[in-house]
Amino acid sequence: MATNVVQGKDLAQQYRVGQGNLRALDGVSFELETGRSLAIVGESGCGKSTLGKIIAGIVEPTQGSVYIEGENLSQASKTEAIKLRLSVQVVQQDVYSSLNPRRRVSGILCDPMVYHRIVRNRKAAADRAAELLDMVGLSPASDFLQRFSYQMSGGQRQRVAIARALCVNPKIVVADEAVSMIDMSLRSSILNIFQRLQDDMGIAYMFITHDVALARYFARDYRTMVMYAGKVIELGPTEAVVDHPLHPYTRMLCEAVPDPDPANRHALRLVPKASDLPDLTQPDTGCRFRARCPFETSQCSNEVPILRTLGEGGHWVACHHAEEWPGMVEQAQEA
């Protein structure tokens, strides 16, 4: 039976801003099985990085619990908590600020292994560092161990950042827009490295991206979770979510992806009414997406939609009109 390596339960995060509280994350629950890839999709500001930091134990949630291999992170003893935190590593977007410019690659990789007693001694750390550099495609390793980050390209730095994440033998890697700043031409090689590490080491990924096409590719064998303004609005098998979205917002995100087929470019688009995000310091009276939704009704202003299953195969959506709107779009397209 598949086991959950990560489970988030009813996670919420409020940031103090001025006189109010900004609800950056609100009631987020999800599961991630061992060795799988969960994509987390949504536009900037929807709470993706906050969620990633909570799972990695970098940010303490205002509410809710994180379970790593069944252990509650906030209730673990001090030593246990350190172990659990090490098992979740983050690879960030910004390859220019994520590596310490004053340290050589050897230090960046070896110090954490020695400090956390992953290896017996410095020599073993150096051997493992060379192995990891090989795994991320920086060969021969001896060419890279003595370099500083400014002596490497963006793609090479990101490979070092991946090797650093791996050196403490994590079970989960939070890849937060990890290829967004990488040149298109190098992206697929980095994605292939992630994939290979999953096959070889059984790593589970929380793959955070604003790009639906990337999510569809990376999480094709598992699930995609779509977030809007701090809430999960859709969650399900990646193919179902991307090809048959049940939330108008997901559909809009998918349509923002350029279609290579020119015949489809002129198909009727789901045009949003407005682009404003809701004020996250105010309590909800209804759906957070309604100001932008072409299908808004009075129910949407008065009732907060809850995440519910629709259809088969664990496809969840938080929309009052999930049953009706796809048919309305189809009709309009035929007319």
Binding ligand ADP (rule: CB under 6 A), the pick from 11, 28, 41, 46 is: 46
Q: Pull the structure tokens for residue 263.
A: 């015949």
The binder of ligand ADP chosen from 7, 14, 37, 50 (CB under 6 A): 50
Selected range binding ligand ADP among 48-56, 62-70, 109-117, 185-193, rule: CB under 6 A = 48-56
Alpha helical stretches, state H, the chain: 48-55, 78-86, 105-115, 122-135, 142-145, 154-166, 184-201, 212-218, 238-243, 248-255, 262-265, 298-302, 325-334
22 binds ligand ADP (CB under 6 A): yes
21 binds ligand ADP (CB under 6 A): no
Mark the segment that binds ligand ADP (CB under 6 A) among 37-45, 143-151, 164-172, 325-333: 37-45
C-alpha span between 209 and 44 (Å, rounded):
9
**Is residue 326 near ligand ADP by the rule CB under 6 A?**
no
Distance CA 113, CA 166 (A): 10
Question: Should residue 49 be labelled a site residue for Mg ion when binding is judged by CB under 5 A?
Answer: yes
CB of 214 to Mg ion, least distance (A): 14
Q: Which amino acid is at 69?
A: E
End-to-end Cα, the chain, rounded Å: 48
User: Closest approach of Cβ 91 to Mg ion, in Å?
Assistant: 13
17 binds ligand ADP (CB under 6 A): yes
Least distance (Å) from ligand ADP to the CB of residue 37? 18
Task: Report the site for ligand ADP in 293-312 (rule: CB under 6 A).
Answer: none
Q: Would residue 66 be called left, alpha or beta, if left means φ above 0 and alpha means ψ between -120 and 50 degrees?
A: beta
Question: Which H, E and C letters describe 37-95, residue by residue?
Answer: EEEEECCCCCCHHHHHHHHCCCCCCCEEEEEECCEEHHHCCHHHHHHHHHCEEEECCCC
How is residue 125 written in tokens?
């750390």
Rule CB under 6 A: say whether 48 interacts with ligand ADP. Answer: yes
- Of all residues in the shown chain, the one whose CB is closest to Mg ion is 49
By CB under 5 A, tell whether 250 contacts Mg ion.
Answer: no
Q: Say if residues 160 and 99 touch (Cβ distance below 8 Å).
A: yes
Whichever of 53 and 85 has its CB closer to Mg ion, that residue is 53
Is position 15 an interface residue for ligand ADP (rule: CB under 6 A)?
yes
Please tell me the count of residues contacting ligand ADP according to CB under 6 A: 12
Of 22, 1, 25, give the one whose Cα is nearest residue 12. Answer: 25
CB of 334 to ligand ADP, least distance (A): 36
By CB under 6 A, name the binding residues for ligand ADP. 15, 17, 22, 24, 42, 44-50
